[in-house]
Amino acid sequence: MASLCGRLVSRVSLVRHKGSNWLYSAARSQTTSSATTAATSDLDKYIKKSEELASKYEKHVDEAVARWAKCDEIYFGKERDFKNFPTVKYSVTHPKVRLGFLPDAWFQALYPITGVTGPYLFLFGSTTFLISKEILVVDPHFVEMGVFIVLMTGLMKKFGPLLADFLDKHMEKVEQIRYYEPLNALHRNLDETIATADEEITRASAVGSLVKAKEENVALQLEAAYRERLQQVYRAVHRRLDYHVERENTRRRFQQTHLINWVVDQVVKGITPAQEKETLTYCIGELKRLAQVHKSTAVA
């Protein structure tokens, strides 16, 4: 019983320790991330309720352990004299008897002094002494004693085992109701409480991982938002750079076209009518010459 109570106290203390550590980590997470403020406030209420429940369990268990320790100190403490006042141990069955009513311990005590037949001779001699001294008077009604003894012996042989079985079953039922069932119920209650404490320990240890997972989730969301905005900035800058490149190319093409047209216009303006006539005459002559060459080549 004391070991069960000790195990329960240790688990309740561990639950409170885990809850306190988690509460501290949750408080730190509140300062680092504003997205988890609402969730941590609800979890703080849950932790507070768990702390109150653990305190009640711990107080109840401490009182039970104190009561058991006080009882143990009173009944089995250092001040008790176990030598002169040993612990009472009740025998499961009655002591062994002989002739139906004489304790066997009397015979065992006389064996070292009188031998095996000594107790019977002592019983017979004592009866003879009582009759001879007329201490035990045998009258006509003495026969009733013999009939009573025979009748009671027969009844005990016939119905004694049945009555003993009935009383044993009744006592077993009484012991089961008054002792074993409350003790088993207490053991089951303590086992359930220990199992509940183990579950709370597991939950308390998992709360930190849950908060960490939520923090990682928030961090991933922030990273995704950052990357999306970075992509938007990249596309905007890329469009502006494309605009400047196209603007520069258009400006250069316009300058080149304007320069070519200006050069052509200036060249055309610089040609005189005589130069134009000479050029045409020279071109016509060249064309005729080429035609002659081509014709001679074709005939050959």
- Asked whether the beta carbons of 81 and 15 are under 8 A apart, the reply is no
pTM of this prediction?
A: 0.38
What confidence tier does 33 reach under pLDDT thresholds 50, 70, 90? Answer: very low
Q: What is the mean pLDDT of residues 158-183?
A: 90
Q: What is the rounded CA–CA span in Å between residue 283 and residue 84? A: 155
Flag whether pLDDT at 182 surpasses 50: yes
Q: What is the pLDDT of residue 188?
A: 92
Q: Is 82 helix (H, G, I), strand (E, B) or coil?
A: coil
What confidence tier does 300 reach under pLDDT thresholds 50, 70, 90? Answer: low
User: Residue 138: which region, alpha, beta or left (left: phi > 0; alpha: psi -120 to 50)?
Assistant: beta
Query: Residue holding tokens 């009939």?
Result: 147
Rounded to the nearest integer, the mean pLDDT of the chain is 81
Q: What is the rounded CA–CA span in Å between residue 300 and residue 92? A: 150
Q: What is the rounded CA–CA span in Å between residue 182 and residue 193? A: 16
Q: What is the percent of the chain with per-residue pLDDT over 90, rounded to a whole number?
A: 23
Flag whether pLDDT at 9 surpasses 70: no
Q: What is the rounded CA–CA span in Å between residue 89 and residue 86? A: 9
Contacts of 54 (CB under 8 A, 6+ apart): 12, 15, 16, 19, 200
Q: What is the pLDDT of residue 241?
A: 95
Q: What is the pLDDT of residue 248?
A: 94
- pLDDT tens-digit map of 42-78: 767 777 887 888 788 888 888 888 888 888 888 887 8
What confidence tier does 38 reach under pLDDT thresholds 50, 70, 90? Answer: low
Flag whether pLDDT at 8 surpasses 60: no
Q: What is the rounded CA–CA span in Å between residue 196 and residue 43? A: 19
Q: What is the rounded CA–CA span in Å between residue 158 and residue 152? A: 10
Q: What is the pLDDT of residue 221?
A: 95
- Asked whether the beta carbons of 160 and 104 are under 8 A apart, the reply is no
The pairing of strands 97-98 and 102-103 is antiparallel
Distances (CA, A) of 275 to 261, 282, 284: 21, 10, 14
Q: What is the rounded CA–CA span in Å between residue 300 and residue 296? A: 6
Flag whether pLDDT at 24 surpasses 60: no
Flag whether pLDDT at 252 surpasses 70: yes
Highest mean pLDDT among 87-101, 117-131, 157-171, 242-256: 242-256
Q: What is the rounded CA–CA span in Å between residue 269 and residue 275? A: 12
Q: What is the pLDDT of residue 146?
A: 81
Q: What is the rounded CA–CA span in Å between residue 19 and residue 12? A: 10
